[in-house]
Chains A and B, each alone.
Chain A
Amino acid sequence: MPRPPGRRIPARSSDEPLAWILFALMVLALYGAFLFAERERVMGDIQRIFYVHLPLAWVGFVAFGHACWASIRYLATGRREWDVVSASAAEVGVLFATLVIITGSLWARPVWGTWWTWDPQLTTYLILWFIYVGYLVLRAAAGDDPRQARVAAVFAIVGFADVPLVWLSARYLRALSPVIFTSHSLGLAPSMAWALAAGLAAWSLFYVVLVRVRIRLGLVEAVVARAADGREAAP
């Protein structure tokens, strides 16, 4: 995971090779998802969304973990850079989370006939999305004020602790539809497993690239703000 570099800002040039690798991986992943993997018996072609949906879900969750970790570091050290990392991770993460919900919904409709099911995964993701939004709202209201930034950081930590609890508690919900969706129940043929792996790699790298760009932008903003304050100022 990218670390805030202190006073240095990561050079744009180091992102170039990454972007190329990403491009290649993405092509691979999409090929794997749509052409290479065998057709799933029960659900048909629509199941291919799964190869995007699951990696997105994984990254979306990890992104928030990233934000939570950065928040902890921010509270511990007070260094602005960590706050930037946290906000960047959250901004990219919410994007992923939104896509997860959309792809999940798109998948649910043809398969189970409803746009939404209250199963643990989707429910947890919806809540995660709300927590993301809550964090971003707090962060946006914070602007340059370190006190508000700290408020947002605290919320990120609380939010992240909450997500597994939401998932656990969702078991107690009586599902509207009797079919409980679990990804493990899908028997994965080898071609499917490869497609999934490619998807995971590609989307993870996608996240990394996006976050690095976002962090770089954020760090530049922070440096400008610090300069405006006039040297030797508090970090």
Chain B
Amino acid sequence: MELRSRELVTSMGLVGLLALVIQGVAAAGAPQAAEALAPAVLWVTVSFAATLGLARSQALEQEYQAGSAVLLAPVDRSTVYLAKCAAHTVVVVALQVLVVAGASVLVSPEIGRHAALLAPPLLLGAVGFAVVGTLLSALALTTRLREVVLPILLLPIVLPVVIASGAAVAQVLAGARLASLGGPLRFLVAYDVLFLVLGAWLYEYAVEE
């Protein structure tokens, strides 16, 4: 499973990450946002770029129907799902690192200074995003509408993650310490676990022909 993740990242790496970086830097640079809006900026950037990345990842699977080959293999569908989630999480985290770095430079240095404490909410948020995104991108690209439909599907579902993680980020930037982040973080963990289980169960149906 780990090897699988690495291979996926390799494949996505050049093409996917480039697209994400361009999006990330461009979006972060555009608005002259005050510090208060930083969480929103972070998450809006990450959300849109990550959605694109997920769509791209799924499209790669379908380019030569490699996804079918994976289904042929003697691997459980759920395992495939978990591996993909892991790979997507890594990519989203990489994106977040870039966005945080970019935002530190372009928006406010405060962001960079709090980077360590920003990690838990961002990481949990990335997991949530990846877990839901993996499932939904598999759904979206089977439809005639293809990538276009993914944002419509994904963003409402992922909203709790954005809200909770964004709230935690805002608290961190306002000077809170890890202990006081308990509420949003616990929520994120619950969300991640719920959708991981749900996704593992439903992935088989999503991918079945």
**Contact A131 to B157, CB < 8 A, known contacts A158-B198, A169-B164:** yes
Alpha-carbon separation in the docked complex, A1 to B159 (Å): 30
Q: Please, how many residues of chain A have a CB less than 8 angstroms from a CB on the other chain?
A: 29
Which chain A residues have a beta carbon within 8 Å of chain B's beta carbons? 75, 127, 130-131, 133-134, 137-138, 141-142, 147-148, 150-151, 153-155, 157-159, 161-162, 165-166, 168-170, 172-173
Q: Which chain A residue has the least Cβ–Cβ distance from B157?
A: A162
Query: Contact at B144–A173, with CB atoms within 8 Å?
Result: no
| Interface majority SS (helix, strand, loop, mixed), chain B | helix
Given A148-B142, A159-B156, A75:B205 Cβ within 8 A? yes
Q: Are A141 and B157 in contact (CB under 8 A)?
A: no
B152 A137 Cβ-Cβ under 8 A: yes
Q: How far is the CA of A75 from the CA of B157 in the complex (A)?
A: 20
The 10 sampled A-B contact pairs (Cβ below 8 Å) are: A75-B202, A142-B143, A147-B208, A150-B205, A154-B139, A154-B206, A158-B132, A162-B160, A169-B163, A172-B164
Q: Which of B144, B149, B194, B206 is packed against the most chain A CB atoms within 10 Å?
A: B206
Question: What 1/0 mask marks residues of chain B from 132 to 151 whose CB sits below 8 Å from any chain A CB?
Answer: 10011001001111000100
| B48 on the A face (CB < 8 A) | no
Q: Please give me the residue from chain B that is nearest to A148 by CB atom.
A: B143
Q: Which residues of A contact B209 (CB under 8 A)?
A: 147
> Which of B143, B156, B187, B209 neighbours the largest number of chain A CB atoms within 10 Å of its CB?
B156
Residues A141 and B152 in contact, CB atoms below 8 Å apart: no
Query: Do A170 and B156 contact each other (CB < 8 Å), given the known contacts A137-B149, A165-B191?
Result: no
**Cβ of A161: which chain B residues have Cβ within 8 Å of it?**
194-195, 198
Q: Is the beta-carbon distance between A154 and B143 smaller than 8 angstroms? A: no
Judge if B167 is at the interface, Cβ distance under 8 Å. yes
**From B135, B152, B155, residue with most partner A Cβ within 10 Å:** B152
CA distance A138 to B148 in the complex (A): 12
Q: Do A131 and B156 touch across chains, with their CB atoms under 8 A apart?
A: yes
Enumerate chain B residues within 8 angstroms of A168, measured Cβ to Cβ: 160, 187
Q: Taking CB as reference atom, which chain B residue is nearest A150? A: B205
In whole angstroms, how far apart are the Cα atoms of A159 and B154 in the complex? 10
Q: Tell me if B136 and A138 are in contact (CB < 8 A).
A: no
Question: Is B153 part of the binding interface, using a Cβ–Cβ cutoff of 8 Å?
Answer: yes
**Known contacts A162-B157, A166-B159; A151/B139 CB under 8 A:** yes
Question: Quick check: is B67 within 8 A (CB to CB) of the other chain?
Answer: no
B 180-209 binary contact with A (CB < 8 Å = 1; else 0) = 000110010001001100100010011011
Residues from chain A with Cβ under 8 Å of B166 in the complex: 172
A168 to B152, CA, bound (A): 21
Chain B nearest Cβ from A88, distance in angstroms: 21
Docked pose: A154 CA to B166 CA in angstroms: 27
Closest to B158 in A: A162
Instruction: Identify which of B153, B167, B194, B208 contacts A155 (C-beta below 8 A).
Output: B153
